Amino acid sequence: MDGLVGLLKVRVVRGINLAYRDARGSDPYVVLRLGKKKLKTSVKKRSVNPIWQEELTLTVTDPSQPLKLTILFVIHYSRLFAYRRCSTRTPSAETTPWETRRWTWRH
């Protein structure tokens, strides 16, 4: 891995009071982006208070690239790319390498 600076581990814990997208709730999942790299959690069907408890690991080659966290909702499983964006966060550049940060989304 040329230019590898380190690994970034992100633990996606849960969502609280996310928006209802239909009468049954929502089908949320989280997408992490770092440069051109993209990882996503599993979809939690019919939940506005999903619990993921998933750890995602991204390789860091350029520490100046911002990490982008996005919560998306699946609208229809039979349609490719059928989703809606709920929220996007870009963490502060002031986070130190060993610091643990907690971001909270509330609708």
pLDDT tens for 38-61 read 888 998 888 888 899 999 998 888
CATH architecture type of domain 6-89: Sandwich (2.60)
Q: How many Cβ atoms from other residues are within 10 Å of residue 15's Cβ?
A: 25
pLDDT category at 100 given cuts 50, 70, 90 is: low
Confidence at residue 80, expressed as pLDDT on a 0 to 100 scale: 45
Which contiguous run of DSSP H or E holds residue 7? strand 6-14
Question: What is the largest distance, in Å, between two alpha-carbon atoms of the chain?
Answer: 49
Residue 48 to residue 56: CA distance in whole angstroms? 21
Residues with Cβ within 8 Å of 43's Cβ and at least 6 positions away in sequence, in order, are 27, 28, 29, 74
**pTM here?**
0.67
Map 54-104 to HEC letters. EEEEEEECCCCCCEEEEEEEECCCCCCCCEEEEEEECCCCCCCCCCCCCCC
Lookup: tokens for 100? 């643990």
pLDDT value of residue 102: 55
